[in-house]
Amino acid sequence: MSVVVSAISNYPVMLAETVVKNLSDGITSLISLKKELTDRLLIVDKIIAAENAAVSLRIQADTWKEETETANSGVDFYLHAFSLFEIKAVAEASVTNYTLLCSQIWQKPTVAHKILFDKTLTNEEREIAETMNVEESIEKGTLPLPFSEFVKRITKTMRRATVARSDATPAPVRIFPLKEEVVILRSVQIPTDATLEITVDGKDICTLDGRACGAADVELYVIAEDELRLTFTPSATAEWRFTYERAKLTDYLRMLLGRMTRAHDEELWMRVRAGIV
């Protein structure tokens, strides 16, 4: 898998799973996630698969299942998976180097998510739900927040930049947060004959294969507290670019990232656990 879920420590995070695989006649597993979902929530909002009349996709998120034809332009999804996520290719003939990109949001499940999807709450979570009136907010339609709205509210951007580079050899780019800020990677664009490794605070969390990215912008949301490192490995095409921003390290982010606990601020701790911004 190109996304290393076990290496992720800063939540929430939006990454892209890129798959390049030879398909045989019949069913081939492209993505299978089960143990990775322990104590995590996966939200899938886009799947871009190479268009091929001989290939369809079978998609499963927990007990929900669907089958779709493939489309280069991508297929719009917004799926929540708590225990299982799978994508299988069903091919009528063999296919070489079949490509797929799956946009993945990984986060710790909030109390609002667990109530909405009828998941069992712990005693601590029931306390949060009652104190913060989470069920009432769900009924009013204000919780849980869509991911795009959630990150818009929690991210206090101070500077954003798009950096275009030309690197004929493997080139690591390192970006370090300044005091009282974090660095957030928002998108990348790499050629189809290159790869890009994303390293956060010393851990390799994702490697993008340009063949599956299709030379298009890949939307991301990756928070780095100590260092963001991007390692571009080209083949023939040297041009690539990325967009990142510097954001204020607020108390909300500190709580979200585990720098603060209930003992520091109980109300804020409950708001973060509930998913309220």
pLDDT of 270 above 80? yes
**Higher-pLDDT residue of 77, 246:** 246
How many angstroms separate the CA atoms of 151 and 106, rounded?
13
Q: How many CB atoms lie within 10 A of CB 60?
A: 17
**Which of 75-84, 124-133, 238-247 is predicted least confidently?**
75-84
- Supply 5's token pair: 């879920």
Mean pLDDT of the chain: 96
How many angstroms separate the CA atoms of 42 and 151, rounded?
16
For residue range 159-193, list pLDDT tens digits in order: 999 999 999 999 899 999 999 999 999 999 999 99
pLDDT of residue 103: 97
Type and span of the H or E element at 108: none
pLDDT of residue 44: 97
For residue range 4-43, list pLDDT tens digits in order: 999 999 999 999 999 999 999 999 999 999 999 999 999 9
Summarize the chain as % helix, strand, coil (round to 5).
Answer: 20, 45, 35
For residue range 46-103, list pLDDT tens digits in order: 999 999 999 999 999 999 999 998 877 667 889 999 999 999 999 999 999 999 999 9
- Compute CA 265 distance to the chain's CA centroid, rounded to the nearest angstrom: 28
- Supply 145's token pair: 């927040």
Are 188 and 175 in contact by the 8 Å Cβ rule? The answer is no
Type and span of the H or E element at 200: strand 195-200
pLDDT of residue 1: 78
